[in-house]
Each structure stands twice: as C-alpha cells, then as structure tokens.
Chains A and B, each alone.
Chain A
Amino acid sequence: MTDPIKLINVSHYYSQGLPVQVAAVKNINLTIKAGEAVGIIGHTGSGKSTLISHFNGLLKPSEGTVLVDGEDIHKDKETLRRSRFKIGLCFQYPESQLFEETVAKDIAFGPGNMGLSDSEIALRVERAAEFVGLKRELLSKSPFDLSGGEKRRAAIAGVMAMEPEVLVLDEPAAGLDPRGKNEILRMIMNYREQTGSTIVFVSHSMEDIAATAERIIVMNHGEIALEGTVDEVFSHGESLRTMGLNVPEITRIFMMLRQRGIDVPSNIYSVEEGARILRGLAEGRRG
C-alpha cells in the first residue's frame, strides 16, 4: 500500500533569490503512513506550519517532491485538486474561515467543492457536526452567532466533512480554555477511532502531543531534529530543552522522582496516569 503522504528532500525558501532568502524548511524526508497518529512539534518559527502547507500543495517546495498516495502532487492541476480533498488541512484559528449564512452551509462548503450530491453532502454535514459535538439546533444558526469554542468546532467540522484520508490539524486547541482544549483533543481522538483515518497534529504543547500522537516529529530550525515514538522522543529530554521545548511537566516530575531513587516508570505523560501510579505507591507504602 502506498503511503498517504511522502516528502522527499523537501526544502522551501522564502524570498528565493534575494539576499534575505530564508530556508523555512530544508531537506525534509518524511512519510506519514495510513492510519497513524503523528504529532509534529516545534518551537515558534521552527517551520511546522510551512511543512504542513506542503502536504496539500498550498506551498510548492523549492526543492524536492511531495507524493500523495504515491503521486507527485504538483504533477498537474487535477492531481493537486484531488490531493486537497485527500489531505484535509485545518489551519490555526480555523474559525476565521467561516463565512456562510448558516453553520450547516459552511460545513457543506468543502464537500460542495468536491462535487458531491446534495443528499451525500447533507449526510456528511450531519456526521461531521456529530463528530465535533455541535448540537443540531446550532446548524441553522449563523456561524457568527456561535461562541468561540463552537466556532472552532464548526470550522474543524468543515474540514472533517470532506472526509479526507489524512486530517492535518495545526494547533487545533490554541487559545481555548483547558476544558475546551480537552474536549477538542478528545473529539479528534474519537474521530480517529471511528473513521480510522490518519491524523497529523501540530502543536507546541508536549502534553497535547503526548495525549494524541503515537509518533512524534520534532522540528527545529526548519529541519527534523528528532523522530520516533512518544517514549523515544521524550527520552531525549536534554536535547528537547536546547530546542526550547520540554517534556510534559508530569513526565519531568517522574524523571526527578527517579533521580531521587524512587522506582517509578519514566514514561508517564498524563496527570491522570501519574496520579494513579503515585496513589498506588502511597498505598503500597502504607500496606
């Protein structure tokens, strides 16, 4: 089976040919396999957003090739257009893309561009709204009347409704309160479980990445600095710190506990898990 996304030696320069030429990403070799949940993490300006803009051909690489399902995405206009629907890209603060009269119509924009039948579109809108937990009565409202969190969900639903093979989300939880953030993350995991689609998730929050991704790609100065499973990447705590990143706080606490000779696992990434282990430890000591 061909991989949904494959980048071969991709570099992208801004202001190419001018003295101020900057390499936003350079020599990226990357494969996203079908069904994976990949987290892309990096400091601000590390090239994360530039990288994902190559996935659906919004940016053309200055050098290198982008393959979607084994086909060069920039081969012709038709391939490019098809790739846009295969790779659903949801940008940061996607609520700024809402424009239609009603939420339902806005969610239908993507599927409508795919040229689907009305009944199919209606079905997809309903399904997408369900995934993001938008109540039915909101669908007939104007998107501008929704609350901030609801707008975000409606916008994500707009990308989900295209039912892409790969859903790429750039900081889907940015600017939301902790509760809204958890809901969005849970919603994405739920979507993945039900549809089995591939997820690429961009964030600079280690906690969020640890909670959602199986494989992590760490970007630094436009290059892939680290790549591997969550355990593998977080075991490089020191080099992550030099890139302005860090392991999740709870992981750091467990690492410090280990340093003090307390026998706890080092691969703890969520507070719930950590709490469970500490509770077990305390009970064991009492008993």
Chain B
Amino acid sequence: MVRDITFGQYYPGSSAVHKMDARMKFVLTFGMIVCIFVCRNFFSLGLMVLFTSAAVAVSRIPLKMILKSIKPVAVILIFTGILNIFYTKGGETWFSFWKISVTEKGVYTAVFTMIRIIVLVIISSLLTYTTTPTMLTDALERLLSPLKVFHIKVHTLAMMMTLALRFIPTLIEEIERIMNAQKARGADLESGGLIRRAKALIPVFVPLMVSSFRRAYELAFAMTCRCYTGGDGRTRMKQMKLGLRDFIALTVCLAVLAGIITLNHFFPKVI
C-alpha cells in the first residue's frame, strides 16, 4: 500500500551521522552526489562505493532499510542497464545474435551506470534517513538565506515545505479512510479502463480536496493564534552549530574527492 514508501523517511538513531549538523549533511550529500559523476573509471567509483558503505556503517541504518530505498528505482535500474548493454557499442564483441550484439564497452557502461544510480540513491536516502524533515527544511532555509538579498521569501518557502512534508502521512491516512468509505458504498476503484478508473476517483478526491482546504484553514488559524507572523524576528529552539564531527566529515569527503580525481587521472576512463 501507499504506506510502504520509505524514500524520504526518517529512521531514528543516535549515530554520528544522525548528530551531524543538518546543513553540513546537506552540503556534503550534494557534494558527494557530484562526486559520483566525477568518477570516470571503476577505481574511482570503487572508492565512492567504499565511502558510501562506510557512511552507512557509521549511520547504523539497517541494511534492510537501505535495500528498501533502492526498491522503488529497481525498474529504472533494469531499464538503464538493458539500454546501455544493447546500445553502447565499442571494444570486443562478446555476444551477437541477429541484430543484437553485446560489446565489452556496453557491459562496462551498463554496470557502471547501475552502480552510479545505486550509490546515488543510497547517499540521498542516507540523508533523509538520518535527518528529520524539520531539520532538513531548517537547514535548507539557513543555506538559502543569502537569497533574501533578492527578496526571495526563503522562510516562507521552507515553512511551506515543512508543512507539506508534515501532512503527507495525514493525507495518506485520509485517502485510505475516504476510499474505504466509498468502497463500502460499492465504489469500484480497482477495475475498468483508464477513463473509468479516473472517474471512479472523483468520489475520493472531492472529499479529499474539501478536507485539505479545511485543514489548511484550521492550521493557518492555529498558527496565527500562536502569533506566527512569518520569518522576521523569529528565533529558534534548536540552534544549529557546526562541531568537530562536521569538520571531520568535511575532511573525509574532501579526501574522497581528491582520491577520485587522482584515480581518474592514473587509470583509463570507462565512461
């Protein structure tokens, strides 16, 4: 069911990764994602895999959760794998049949791309597993605050994002509730063609819209009652502070980047 979506879910813990400053985690995650694309051969990619495994180990997120985060992209993985195997040509031909041929380069590219995607997903889900959505948007707000110079309402955007994230589970619950109520009235939500199915969703989405607007209105009212007036002059309960742990992480990441560039330089490139 809809509840099984894990991508972007917090996994409580008290590891060093959990305790890191969310801003640093955000920047480093972004940086490491760039690093994945800097890798040019299996040696540098291997270093990246090593780094990712180490990060997962330090975060103490169970392997099961990590695998769960890869599941949603499995289709994309297989798809890119197949495309690369058959459409990238070069090097020795290993297998050939009718118009289809598999070459050395094709296999290498396919494997390389797939590892890349897996590492990418693991690194980004590591961020969301170890950081609460609130911390994440807080960090984003702080990181984007220089944009205030251009009169961009960073705080408002961050608040909207926090609220949107906060209401995802509520909405999922609401959808399930309404779906059950309409099914009890004999609504058939599971069969028929595309148009029939889309039509069948009207009894679900109309009440959902109505309740969402009501909820939004009530929330705005509650926030106003607690004197919320936007970002100006607002202080924080949890102050973000960079610590030793954050600088160690930064150093490690820089070292990995340096390693990747070196390995790229000394070994022939695959991609």
Contacts and interface: CB of A to CB of B under 8 A. Distances in A.
A51 interface: no
Given A109-B203, A144-B210, A96 B184 contact: no
B154 interface: no
Interface stretch (B35-43, B135-143, B175-183): B175-183
A144 B207 CA distance: 10
For this complex, into which size category does the number of interface residues on chain A fall?
A: 20 to 34
Q: Is the interface of B mostly helix, strand, loop or mixed?
A: helix
B211 interface: yes
A158 B178 CA distance: 14
A260 B210 CA distance: 55
B185 A58 contact: no
Given A96-B211, A99-B202, A109-B203, A91 B180 contact: yes
B207 to A, nearest CB: 5
Contacts of B181: 91, 94, 96-97
A159 B184 contact: yes
Contact of B186 (A81, A90, A94, A144): A81
Nearest to B179: A58
B207 A97 contact: yes
Contacts of B177: 91, 96
B187 interface: yes
Contacts of A53: 180
B178 A90 contact: no
B188 interface: yes
Nearest to B176: A58
A11 B198 CA distance: 34
Contacts of B180: 53, 58, 91
Interface residues of B, number: 18
Contact of A96 (B183, B185, B186, B207): B207
Given A96-B178, A98-B207, A99-B206, A113 B184 contact: no
Contacts of A56: 184
Contacts of B211: 96
Contacts of A41: none
A110 interface: yes
Nearest to B183: A58
Given A58-B180, A96-B177, A99-B202, A109 B185 contact: yes
A52 B139 CA distance: 45
A21 B112 CA distance: 39
Contacts of A153: none
B185 A113 contact: yes
A88 B203 contact: no
Residue picked from B186, B188, B202, B206, most chain A C-beta under 10 Å = B186
B178 A84 contact: no
Interface in A78-101: 81, 84-85, 88-91, 94, 96-99
A158 B181 CA distance: 11
A162 interface: yes
Interface string A104-146: 0000011001100000000000000000000000000000100
B206 A113 contact: no
A84 B184 contact: yes
Residue picked from A58, A91, A99, A110, most chain B C-beta under 10 Å = A99
Contacts of B178: 96-97
A70 B172 CA distance: 35
28 contacts: A53-B180, A56-B184, A58-B180, A81-B186, A84-B183, A84-B184, A84-B185, A84-B186, A85-B186, A88-B184, A89-B184, A90-B184, A91-B177, A91-B180, A94-B181, A96-B174, A96-B177, A96-B178, A96-B181, A96-B207, A97-B178, A97-B203, A99-B203, A99-B210, A109-B182, A109-B185, A109-B187, A113-B188
The 4 lowest CB-CB distance pairs between A and B, nearest first, are: A113-B186, A99-B206, A97-B181, A89-B184
